[in-house]
Chains A and B, each alone.
Chain A
Amino acid sequence: MNILGISAHYHDSAAALVVDGVPICAVQEERLSRHKGDAAFPLLAIEWCLQNARIEPDDLDAVVFYERPMLKFDRVLTCALRAFPQSWRAFPKAMKNLLGEKVWMRGIISSQLGVPGRKVLFTEHHQAHAAAAFLTAPTRRAAIMTADAVGEWATLSVGDGERGSNGTTKIRRFREIRFPHSLGMLYSTFTAYLGFKVNEDEYKVMGLAAYGKPTMVEQVRKLICRTPDGAFALDLSYFEFHTTAKRSYSPRFAELFGPPRNPYEPIDLDTAEGQRFADCAASVQRVLEDTLVELARTLHQETGLADLCFGGGVALNGVANARLLAESGFERIFVPPAPGDAGCAMGAALYCDRIHFGNPDRDLPDHPFWGPSVDGSELARIAQEDGHHVETLRDSALIEQTADDLAANRIVGWMEGALEFGPRALGHRSILTAPRTTEMRDRLNREIKYREPFRPFAPVVPTDVAGRYFDIPRGGTRLARFMSGVFPVRPEWKSQLQAITHVDGTARVQVLDPAMAPRLHALLEAYGQRTGIPVLLNTSFNLAGEPIVNRAVEGYSTFLRSKIDVLVAGGTRVTKRSSAVGSTEAERIREEVA
């Protein structure tokens, strides 16, 4: 049975294909279209999935969209009505936006793919989040919590899931919190207030929080209060996201927290103003964590289960995840590699397979590598044409050579196998460097990632030795598998792991099982043999504002535009031709024409 899952139109469109109960491939549209956060209908992703699996649209048994369009329309319309007459500006925009395309998903999918309308199905948004979190996790029974900005109406839901011994699967949602009361929206409002991009830069708020003190928790608690039944509600007089698309916070919010940050000015943490922004970030982070912990604790008491599957965009907050693990009572927390809306494509397809069609339960591969594979020979060809140094090496030689490069403080662009599904580079499209010095961190920030100096970098370490360098609690290894938790760096190693130790002494560590990415694992060991510490800095292979690279040629163009020293794709290793070797024809033309 072939089921295609689609998520689109909010952020990060994606497609995923499930064949006979097992994911075959999945990819975000942005990785193919090369537009970061591409929210368009994911035609390229769908085409690639079908081609890759050699399936014609006719062979699809179902195409599942990750939310119910009419229910979403209902929410948008209702909110416009409730905000009458303030919503008069937002109303025409919202209606044109929805009525233009988004409401007619059955027709659009059916005409774009040429499948009959009856094969087009819909899950609820949070159902898809729940399925993505639970059905991909190696657990048979777990509590499930999902939290994001908003789906149709729900913004947070709790429930449980069970994979029975007879092959049946159950996913139940007990209850949900509805728009406009939303943890995701609360966090996004601060993201906007702090001058970052909403739906994209939330992790910057988390990074900035480490520099501040939660001195404004009381003010934040004015914005979000607990309801008697244990849920929460936002005080809407501080917000405007529900009435206008223009601004997410109200003048009252700015009165409470002071003037918002000008996005075009860098944050200077040495000034009182910069510190205020860091304190704001720390305060909202604290309140987010506290709220999640309390909700999860109740859920733990209610279900008595040891495992929690956590999905939705809020589950990208690694600091909160670590606190959930420490304080909620759950022993293990499973966050999928793509907990956000992109992952809903896979969640919707799996939900449809297990619940709608009632197909038997299957154990699923436990990795994030569902995208297109990289072709080292493509890199070799183009780099040779451009006159760069190209070597094609056997695996072992390549790993030894790359370990030498890293030990010599070279920055390595590392591409292998299938692209990651989800926002994190987990070792198949990564920039790797030595983790030792702050100089390396600054060099990366300045010369490659062009990003704010307060942003931390993540380390990758083999599972069996992770505990030596990082203080990972029981159950934390699971969170760290897909870089979903932030844990302390052991004090005795901090001085040798400066580039990946955040200002508060933590790191968003990835622990690597050899089975998940054998070559990267071998590289870590080879690097460890040379330096004594098998830990590497692992950051996503992209430049600021661009999606993570997919094909070799994209890695190559990124390599040429930045100060990455070595590029590896498959078995091909490339270093830059030194500029002293005479000018290329392109440079000659430039001089001549200009």
Chain B
Amino acid sequence: MDSPRPHERPTAFDRMLTPVHRWIWSDTNRRVQKLLRFGETETDGGRDILRAAEVTSDPLLRRLYLEHAIDEFRHGILFRHRAAELLRVSRSHSNIGFQGDWLAPGGHGLDDLQVDGESDQTMLAFLHLSEKAAASRFCIYRDVMQHDPPTRAIFEEILHDETFHMNYTLTQLARVEPQQHKRHLWRARLSRLWKAYLRLATSLAAILGSILLTIQYFVLLPPFAWMAKRAAHRESAGWTAVSPTSSDSLNRQY
């Protein structure tokens, strides 16, 4: 699994989802939205990696991270430009509903890893895994993009970089941690799983919270809304005098 020189190859899971990806990318609007989103994740990823370059004390890693970050920034631009081009051609402004983000996620992101204060080993292990995951998905995206050669070419180009990212992070991990690099990878893998679970759990909780609040909104709020509207009618626009005592105590929160 962690051969010294892996090449871009979609994972079985990603391959299984090919029909879904094909469907997601078939619609121009959806494609535009996804490309824009990818543009953001690539740029954000670039920022994280740039930060890694700034905080590492290993000169070789600093140079590699910097090149890596520059690649990610370029990917962001490529995605954004392609999205803008598609927008111009299709003349669509619409914000479409379903984008399948969790089904067809974008590039990088370090899973909320705090770059400051992380060891080089942890950084490299995380980077390797997320680059590998990105390479796997971008491979599929490229393959389902036959109907859109320019976008396909972009994925092709980016894929080439991702392969480099995936490989150098692994070789560098082996360099800085010759003995235990496998263990670091496993730890990063588990941590990614745990974070994925946390993300899922918090988004479920958020959905539940929204449902509860929405129910409260329609059940509890109407009488108060009625009163608030009446009060608003009585309120006159313009200046409101500030009474000198209204703000004299700094202990108050209201």
Residues of chain A touching chain B, judged by Cβ–Cβ distance below 8 Å, are 34-35, 64, 68-71, 74, 78, 80-82, 84-85, 88, 91-93, 95-96, 105-106, 118, 121-124, 127, 157, 159, 172-178, 181, 227-233, 262, 264-265, 351-352, 356, 382, 385-386, 545-546, 551, 553-554, 557, 560-561, 584-587, 589-590, 593-594
Contact between B163 and A594, CB atoms less than 8 A apart: yes
Contact partner of A230 (CB less than 8 A), chosen from B206, B221, B229, B239, is B239
Name which residue of chain A comes closest to B222, CB basis: A84
Contact between B239 and A231, CB atoms less than 8 A apart: yes
Distance between Cα atoms of A385 and B214 in the complex (Å): 58
Q: Is B88 an interface residue (CB 8 A)?
A: yes
Contact between A594 and B160, CB atoms less than 8 A apart: yes
With a CB–CB cut-off of 8 A, which chain B residues contact A68? Answer: 252-254
In the complex, how many angstroms separate the beta carbon of A231 from the nearest chain B beta carbon?
4
Contact partner of A96 (CB less than 8 A), chosen from B55, B69, B213, B254, is B213
Contact between B93 and A586, CB atoms less than 8 A apart: no
> Given A82-B225, A546-B47, A553-B54, are A560 and B66 also a contact pair (CB < 8 Å)?
yes
Distance between Cα atoms of A264 and B66 in the complex (Å): 27
Distance between Cα atoms of A551 and B51 in the complex (Å): 12
Contact between B67 and A593, CB atoms less than 8 A apart: no
Q: Is B250 an interface residue (CB 8 A)?
A: yes
Q: Is B12 an interface residue (CB 8 A)?
A: no
In the complex, how many angstroms separate the beta carbon of B209 from the nearest chain A beta carbon?
6
Distance between Cα atoms of A561 and B164 in the complex (Å): 19
In the complex, how many angstroms separate the beta carbon of B202 from the nearest chain A beta carbon?
11
Distance between Cα atoms of A118 and B251 in the complex (Å): 8
Can you identify 5 A-B contacts, CB atoms within 8 angstroms?
A91-B213, A122-B250, A265-B87, A385-B59, A551-B54
With a CB–CB cut-off of 8 A, which chain A residues contact B251? Answer: 118, 121-122
With a CB–CB cut-off of 8 A, which chain A residues contact B80? Answer: 264
What number of residue pairs across chains A and B have CB atoms under 8 A from each other?
160
Interface of B is mostly: helix
Q: Is B199 an interface residue (CB 8 A)?
A: no
With a CB–CB cut-off of 8 A, which chain B residues contact A590? Answer: 64, 67, 164, 168
With a CB–CB cut-off of 8 A, which chain A residues contact B228? Answer: 78, 81-82, 84
Contact between A84 and B229, CB atoms less than 8 A apart: yes
Distance between Cα atoms of A270 and B168 in the complex (Å): 47
Chain-A contact segment, one of B123-131, B190-198, B241-249: B241-249
Residues of chain B touching chain A, judged by Cβ–Cβ distance below 8 Å, are 5, 36, 43, 47, 50-51, 53-55, 59-60, 62-64, 66-67, 69-70, 73, 80, 83-84, 87-88, 93, 160, 163-164, 167-168, 171, 206, 209-210, 213-214, 217-218, 221-222, 224-225, 227-229, 232, 236-242, 244, 247, 250-254
Contact between B164 and A593, CB atoms less than 8 A apart: yes
With a CB–CB cut-off of 8 A, which chain A residues contact B238? Answer: 177, 227-233
Contact partner of A593 (CB less than 8 A), chosen from B88, B168, B240, B242, is B168
Contact between A96 and B237, CB atoms less than 8 A apart: no
In the complex, how many angstroms separate the beta carbon of B73 from the nearest chain A beta carbon?
8
In the complex, how many angstroms separate the beta carbon of B216 from the nearest chain A beta carbon?
9
Contact between A82 and B247, CB atoms less than 8 A apart: no
With a CB–CB cut-off of 8 A, which chain A residues contact B87? Answer: 262, 264-265
Distance between Cα atoms of A229 and B228 in the complex (Å): 24
The 10 closest A-B pairs by CB, nearest first: A84-B225, A586-B63, A233-B237, A227-B238, A81-B228, A70-B254, A92-B213, A121-B250, A264-B84, A231-B238
With a CB–CB cut-off of 8 A, which chain B residues contact A352? Answer: 250
Contact between A386 and B47, CB atoms less than 8 A apart: no
Distance between Cα atoms of A586 and B226 in the complex (Å): 67
> Given A34-B51, A227-B237, A594-B163, are A82 and B232 also a contact pair (CB < 8 Å)?
yes
Contact between B239 and A82, CB atoms less than 8 A apart: no
Contact between A96 and B209, CB atoms less than 8 A apart: yes
With a CB–CB cut-off of 8 A, which chain B residues contact A71? Answer: 253-254
Contact between B84 and A173, CB atoms less than 8 A apart: no
Query: Which has the most chain A C-beta neighbours within 10 Å: B171, B217, B240?
Result: B217
> Given A68-B252, A78-B228, A561-B70, are A593 and B206 also a contact pair (CB < 8 Å)?
no
Contact between A84 and B221, CB atoms less than 8 A apart: yes
In the complex, how many angstroms separate the beta carbon of A90 from the nearest chain B beta carbon?
10
Distance between Cα atoms of A71 and B160 in the complex (Å): 54
With a CB–CB cut-off of 8 A, which chain A residues contact B93? Answer: 262
With a CB–CB cut-off of 8 A, which chain A residues contact B232? Answer: 82
Distance between Cα atoms of A46 and B7 in the complex (Å): 45
Query: Which has the most chain A C-beta neighbours within 10 Å: B36, B250, B254?
Result: B250
Contact between B64 and A586, CB atoms less than 8 A apart: yes
With a CB–CB cut-off of 8 A, which chain A residues contact B244? Answer: 172
In the complex, how many angstroms separate the beta carbon of B232 from the nearest chain A beta carbon?
5
In the complex, how many angstroms separate the beta carbon of B52 from the nearest chain A beta carbon?
10
Contact between A557 and B54, CB atoms less than 8 A apart: yes
Contact between A88 and B206, CB atoms less than 8 A apart: no
Contact between B213 and A589, CB atoms less than 8 A apart: no
